[in-house]
Amino acid sequence: MSDQKYYITTAISYPNGAPHIGHAYEALATDALARFMRLDGRDVYFLTGTDEHGIKMKQTALRDGLTPRELADRNTPLFQKMVRELNCSHNDFIRTTEPRHYAASQEIWRRMVETGDIYKDSYAGWYSVRDEAYYAESETEERPDGVRYGPQGTPVEWVEEESYFFRLSAYQDRLLDHYAAHPEFIGPDERRNEVVSFVKGGLRDLSISRTTFDWGIPVPENPAHVMYVWVDALTNYITGVGFPDDTETFARYWPADLHVIGKDIVRFHAVYWPAFLLSAGLEPPKRVYAHGFLFNRGEKMSKSVGNVVDPFTMIDAYGVDAVRYFFLREVPFGQDGNYSHDAIVQRINSDLANDLGNLAQRSLSMIAKNCDGVLPQPGDFTPEDKALLDQADDLLARCRTAMAGQQVHAALNTLWALVAEANRYFAGSEPWALRKTDVARMGTVLYVTAEAVRQVAILVQPIMPDSAAQLLDLLGVPEDRRDFAALGEGGRLTAGTTLPTPSGIFPRYVEPADERS
Residue placing its CB nearer to ligand ME8 in the complex, 26 or 107: 26
- Going from the C-alpha of 33 to that of each of 36, 263, 334, 352, the distances in angstroms are 5, 18, 14, 20
CB of 25 to ligand ME8, least distance (A): 5
Residue placing its CB nearer to ligand ME8 in the complex, 284 or 357: 284
Q: Which of 21, 53, 420 is nearest to 217 (CA)?
A: 53
Task: Let me know: does 166 contact 206? Beta carbons within 8 Å.
Answer: yes
CB of 413 to ligand ME8, least distance (A): 21
Q: How do strand 294-296 and strand 118-128 relate by DSSP bridges?
A: unpaired
CB of 12 to ligand ME8, least distance (A): 5
SS3 (DSSP) at 92 = strand
Task: Let me know: does 241 contact 47? Beta carbons within 8 Å.
Answer: yes
Q: Which residues pair with 209 in a beta bridge?
A: 227
Query: Nearest 5°: CA angle at 462, between 460 and 468?
Result: 45
Provide the angle, in degrees to the nearest 10, between the axes of the packed helices 21-39 and 68-85.
50
Residue placing its CB nearer to ligand ME8 in the complex, 264 or 384: 264
CB of 395 to ligand ME8, least distance (A): 29
488 burial (CB, 10 Å; 0-12 / 13-18 / 19+) is: middle
How far, in Å, CA of 10 to CA of 114, rounded? 30
Residue placing its CB nearer to ligand ME8 in the complex, 75 or 461: 75
Residue placing its CB nearer to ligand ME8 in the complex, 55 or 457: 55
Task: Let me know: does 59 contact 15? Beta carbons within 8 Å.
Answer: no
CB of 304 to ligand ME8, least distance (A): 24
Residue placing its CB nearer to ligand ME8 in the complex, 261 or 446: 261
Contact footprint for ligand ME8 (CB under 6 A): 11-14, 22-23, 25-26, 51, 233-234, 236, 261-262, 264-265, 293-294
CB of 72 to ligand ME8, least distance (A): 12
Total Cβ atoms within 10 A of residue 387: 14
Residue placing its CB nearer to ligand ME8 in the complex, 207 or 414: 207
Residue placing its CB nearer to ligand ME8 in the complex, 213 or 293: 293
CB of 294 to ligand ME8, least distance (A): 4
CB of 136 to ligand ME8, least distance (A): 20
Task: Let me know: does 21 contact 311? Beta carbons within 8 Å.
Answer: yes
Helix (H) / strand (E) containing 165: strand 157-166
